[in-house]
Structure formats: structure tokens, C-alpha cells
Structure 1
Amino acid sequence: MLAIKYEKPWDVTCVNTEKPAPGQGEALIKVRSAGICGSDIGAFRGTNPLVTYPRIIGHEIAGEIISIPENKKGLKAGDHVIVDPYMYCGACYPCSLGRTNCCEDLKVLGVHVDGGMSEYFTHPADMLWKLPDDMPWELAPIAEPLTIALHGIHRGRLKKGEHVAIIGAGPIGILAAMGALAYGAEPIMIDLVEERLEEARRLGVRYTIQSGKEDVAAKTAGYTDGRMAELVMECSGANAAIQMSLDIAANAGRITFTGWPKNETPLMTGTITKKEVDILGARTSANEFEEAIELIHTGKVDAGKILTKVISLQEAPEAIRDIEKNPGNYMKVNVVM
């Protein structure tokens, strides 16, 4: 079969490799679509210290079941599914709480173990989620990054009518804004790049702030009648943005950190105490797949609007190289087979 493989940083090829055979409790899947994620670009650059090489990439994976053992979800051969890529042990303390995304021995597809950007893939049968038969393959992989955005929303306890300031208008930030709109909240999108803010406005976001040119705190105050944002979602991982989140959070507000900074960030703990803000980590996702699938399938989140390009598997290496060179030209690229 064909697969997209990193031999080492900066070395991506479409290779011929052995078709996998399912082990105990695993399903064999004919992969029909796969998303190229920002983390795949980080792995290409060699800037993600968690990635080991050589590695078949891909964690946004949808396909058709070829074979599957009996499992509690009632899935069968021929069903369309999306893969939960966060493999957990089920025995540690966070797993016992249902917070499997915080597993002490978490393995992520395409990072710690081989992913599924390939023609066939095997995966634990109980970590598959059924897709509607009429969901377009080019949209299906977007359910995975949407789960990450939803996890940040849920960790931050966002309510209808509240303002959520979202820092970083990349795919996760844009999907968080679309999710907030679907649930009746008011997103405020913050980014350095005007083109990304234009994209947010095109998708229905009324309030935007270009952080390199505008006073973010003053604009946030103006949008919220002085209250500031009840929830701040930091989706960029930039140290300055993490610090900014305290300035724009409301008194008694919440902050969720979804972005992963490369370096430690000093924070004004006096502001945390004065405002009594809740600061929460938001790592990947846990139990949001059904919700994400429903939001996309019903059109409550119009996932097609963030899809920049659809490519073949053989075109993926060149696409990865170009996304790395010209990230501003792309929002989401999906491979369809």
C-alpha cells in the first residue's frame, strides 16, 4: 500500500509499504480521507520533541471498515467511521475519571506510533466513531480538529450569550469560533494576520481584533460593554498571547490554554488573584467525537468553508512542503483517496 512517511525532519515521501494486518481487538480500515494538521507540519520541521522517526503521519483519519471484531458500538464491515487518534491505557488516574486525553501513557497517531495517512490502517475497534453514510469524505476528517475546539469550549464552560475571546485564527481557533456561534455565544477573534481575520468575518464572526495594530484590551472592552470576555481561549501557543489572555478575561472569568507554547511563560499572578480567573488546560479531546460529527453533518458548523484544498495521497508530500513554506495560503488541506 501507499503511505506518507517522514524518514527524518524535512524528508517526506509517498512510500510503498506492507498492508497492515489487524491484531486482537482491531479493525481493518480502508482509508478514504485524511487531514494535514499543523502538528504534521511541526513534525516535518522537526520542532515537535514528541515525534520519533521514521514515522507514517496522519491522525485526522476517516474511512470504511473492511473487517472488525464484535464490539460494543455495534459497528460492522462497510460502516463509515472516523478514528479517535488518542490511544490511552484505561487504567491510570485520569483514565479512571474519563479524562483519557490526559492518560499517563498517551500515544498519539503519527507522533508516538504510526498514523493513518495511508491506503489501509488498523486501529482498536472501540476507538472508532460511526459517520453518517452521506457525510462527504472531504469533510469527515475535520471532525477531529473540531473535537479539540469543542474540548476547549467545554473546559471553559462557555454559555449561550457569553463572549469568548479566541486568540489565534488558525484552524482550531476558527473552528472554536464556529462552535461558539452554533451554541449562541459571541466570539471575538484575535490574530496578527488581517487575512485570517477576514476569513473569520466571512464565516460569521462579527468582532475581530488585529493584535499587532490595535489595543486588544480596549477593543475587547468596547465589544463587551466593559465586562471583558467571560471566556478566553488561547489557541496560538504564543507566549505574548498567553500573557494577553489575563488582560482580556473578565473578573470571575475563565481561560483555557489550548495552544502549546515552546517556552515557559511568566504570568502576573496578582492579576489572577485580583480577577479570580479560572485557568484551565485543554489538551486534545475526550468524548467530543459524536458532537463534532453531528455539528458538521447538520451544517451547524459549515466545515467546508475552512477547506482550502483537496488533494490525492500522491500529492501530499509536495503539499506538506508548500504548507511549510507558505502557511498563510492554507487553512485546511485534506487528502481524499
Structure 2
Amino acid sequence: MRAIYLEEPWKVAYIDKEKPEPKEGQALIKVRAAGICGSDIGAYRGTNPLVSYPRIIGHEVVGEVISIPEDNAKGIKAGDHVIVDPYLFCGECYPCSIGRTNCCTDLKVLGVHVEGGMSDYMVHPADMLWKLPEDMPWDIAPMAEPLTIALHGIHRGGLKKGEHVAIIGAGPIGLLAAMSALAYGAEPIVIDVVAERLSFAKELGVKYTINSAEENLTEKVLEYTNGRLAELVMECSGANPAVRSALDITANAGRITLTGWPKKDTPLPTDMITRKEIDIRGARTSANEFEEAIELIHTGKVDVRKILTKTVTMEETPAVIADIEQNSGNYMKVNVIL
């Protein structure tokens, strides 16, 4: 079979590889499409310390079931269209015991710790598949996975209809969070330092944007919220100054969800956290958001096609990964069609 293979940092190739055979409890899937994620670019750069090499990349994966154990939990059958849940958990540790499997103490991620799905075929635990509507186009279906990340941050922050949510970082997760907020009946405020990304957010229906490199962030949030500040702040950039600024724009009794992953510690004024009584929550990957993500895309409530930059073939993928690494501003989401 064909696969996209990282031999080591900076060495990505389109290769032939032996087709996998399913073991007990696994399904065999004919992959139809896979998304290129920022984490794949990090693996290419060698900046993600969790990645082991060599490695088939790809965790935003959809396909058609070739074979599956009949006793699988969701009643999925051969021929069904599915998306894979790429976060493999142990099922035995404390977080797994309370349903927060994304916090598993032995979490393994496709394309990071174990082989990913950017290949003609893959095997995956039969109980970690989610059925897709048969009329959901393959080219947009992989984006249900990054949408789960955005939804998890929204859920962790308890976003309600009518609230303002300040979203720091207008990358794919931030924009998906903004589109989801609109679907929830909330008012997103998208914050970034790149004017083009903020203009793009406006095209997606976001009313309020702030260029934090050129405008006073707190003053603009006060203006957009009629002096209240944001009930929820979602930090999606992972930049240390952005994490710190989240406290400034959060309302008294407000909430913050930290979805971005800074590379180093961020000093925070704990006196402000106490004075405002801010709830701060981490938001790591996702847990039980796939059904909602699929429904939002299928119904068009979140039009993910608007952030699909383009689709590419397997043969084109290595060169595209290298170009995304060099020219990330030219891309939002790229999906590989097999």
C-alpha cells in the first residue's frame, strides 16, 4: 500500500509499505481521506518531543470499513463510512475511569506514538470508530476531528447562548471554535496578530475581530462586550504572551480554557485570578465530541468547507508538507484524498 512516511525530521516521503492485518478487536479500514494537521508539521520539523520515528503520520482519518468484529460497540458493519478516534487510551487509569479518556496517563496518539492513517489501509480498535453519514463528502469529513478539539474547549468552558467568547488565535482550531460559537448562538471575538486571518474570520461571519499587535486588546474587548469583558476566553495560540493576556480580557467570574500548548511556562498574576475569581481549565484533545462534530458538519451548521484551502493527492503530499512548513500563511486546512 501507499503511505506518507516520516523517516526522521525533515525527511518525509511517499512510499510503498506492507498492508496491515487486523488483530483481535481491530477493524481494517480503506482510508479515503486524511487531514494534514499542524502537529504533522511539528513532527516534520522535529519540534514535537512526543513523536517517535520512523512514523506514518496522520490522525484526521476517514474511510470505509473493510472488516470489523461483529460485536463492536457501535454496531458498525463492513461498508460503513467512519472516522477514527485517534486518541488511544488504556481504560484503566483514574481519568479513564471517570470518562475523561483524553487525559489517560498512557495516552497514545495516531501518527505520534503509533502508526498514523495517511496510507491506503489502516487498522484501528473497532470500538474507536464513529459512523459517518454516507452522503458526507470525503474531502471535508476529516475536519470532524479538529472540530472535536474546538468543541472540547467550548465544552470545558461551558459556553452558553448569548455569551461573548474571546478566541485567541485564528488558526484552524480557533476559527472552528468561532464557527461553533456562532452555531451555539454566542458572540465570538477573534484575536490574532495576522490581519489576513482576521479578515478571513470576518468572511466566516465573525462580527468582532482584534489585531492585538495594533490595537489595545483590553479596550477593544471592553468595547465589544459593553464593558463586561468576555465571559469565556479560549486560548488557541499557545503563545506565552497570549496566555497571559487571557486574564486581562476575562470578565469577573469568567472562565478560561487553555487549548494551545505553550513550549515553556507562563508566569501568571494569581492575585488577578483570585480577585476576578476566574475558572481556568485545560482543554486537551477531545472526549466524546465526535457525534456532535459530525452532526454540525453534516447539517451545515459549521461549514468546514470554508476553511479547506485545497485537497491534494498522496503523491503531492510530501512537497505540500514541506511548503506548509515554509509558507504556513498560505494554508488553513489541507486534506489528502486517497
Task: Determine helix, strand or coil for the equivalent of 2:43.
Answer: helix
Q: Which runs of 4+ in 1 moved over 2 A?
A: none
Look up the match of 2:297: 296
**Letter of the structure 2 residue corresponding to residue 160 of structure 1:** K
Look up the match of 2:262: 261
Q: TM-score when scaled to structure 1? A: 1.00
> Quick check: 1:91 aligned with 2:108?
no
1:247-326 aligned within 5 A: 247-326=248-327
Look up the match of 2:38: 38
Task: Determine helix, strand or coil for the equivalent of 2:6.
Answer: strand
Look up the match of 1:7: 7
**Deviation sequence 1:51-83 (CA, Å, 0-9, x none):** 011110000000000000011211000000000
Gaps of 5+ in 2: none
Structure 1 Cα separation of the partners of residues 229 and 8 of structure 2:
45
Structure 1 Cα separation of the partners of residues 138 and 315 of structure 2:
17
Look up the match of 2:117: 116
Look up the match of 2:57: 57
Structure 2 Cα separation of the partners of residues 113 and 291 of structure 1:
26
Q: CA RMSD in A?
A: 0.4
**Deviation sequence 1:31-69 (CA, Å, 0-9, x none):** 000000000001100000000111100000000000000
Look up the match of 2:194: 193
Structure 2 Cα separation of the partners of residues 226 and 24 of structure 1:
58
> Quick check: 1:331 aligned with 2:336?
no
Structure 2 Cα separation of the partners of residues 198 and 326 of structure 1:
18
Task: Determine helix, strand or coil for the equivalent of 1:308.
Answer: strand
Structure 2 Cα separation of the partners of residues 82 and 17 of structure 1:
22
Task: Determine helix, strand or coil for the equivalent of 2:53.
Answer: coil
Look up the match of 2:219: 218
Gaps of 5+ in 1: none
Structure 2 Cα separation of the partners of residues 177 and 157 of structure 1:
14
Percentage of pairs with the same residue:
74
Structure 2 Cα separation of the partners of residues 313 and 80 of structure 1:
20
**Letter of the structure 1 residue corresponding to residue 258 of structure 2:** F
Task: Determine helix, strand or coil for the equivalent of 1:129.
Answer: strand
Task: Determine helix, strand or coil for the equivalent of 1:3.
Answer: strand
**Deviation sequence 1:158-190 (CA, Å, 0-9, x none):** 000000000000000000000000010000000
**Deviation sequence 1:216-241 (CA, Å, 0-9, x none):** 10000000011000000000000000
Structure 2 Cα separation of the partners of residues 211 and 51 of structure 1:
32
Structure 2 Cα separation of the partners of residues 117 and 315 of structure 1:
13
Structure 1 Cα separation of the partners of residues 5 and 167 of structure 2:
33
**Letter of the structure 1 residue corresponding to residue 17 of structure 2:** T
**Deviation sequence 1:194-251 (CA, Å, 0-9, x none):** 0000110000000000010000100000000110000000000000000000000000
**Letter of the structure 1 residue corresponding to residue 20 of structure 2:** P
Structure 2 Cα separation of the partners of residues 148 and 267 of structure 1:
25
Look up the match of 2:209: 208
Task: Determine helix, strand or coil for the equivalent of 1:251.
Answer: strand
Deviation, structure 1 residue 314: 1.1
Look up the match of 1:182: 183
Size of the alignment, in residue pairs?
337
Structure 2 Cα separation of the partners of residues 299 and 35 of structure 1:
19
Structure 2 Cα separation of the partners of residues 32 and 199 of structure 1:
28
**Deviation sequence 1:124-146 (CA, Å, 0-9, x none):** 00000000000000010000000
**Letter of the structure 2 residue corresponding to residue 33 of structure 1:** A
**Letter of the structure 2 residue corresponding to residue 44 of structure 1:** Y
Deviation, structure 1 residue 119: 0.3
**Letter of the structure 1 residue corresponding to residue 26 of structure 2:** E
**Letter of the structure 2 residue corresponding to residue 124 of structure 1:** P
Structure 2 Cα separation of the partners of residues 58 and 253 of structure 1:
36
Look up the match of 1:16: 16
Look up the match of 1:227: 228
Structure 2 Cα separation of the partners of residues 46 and 73 of structure 1:
37
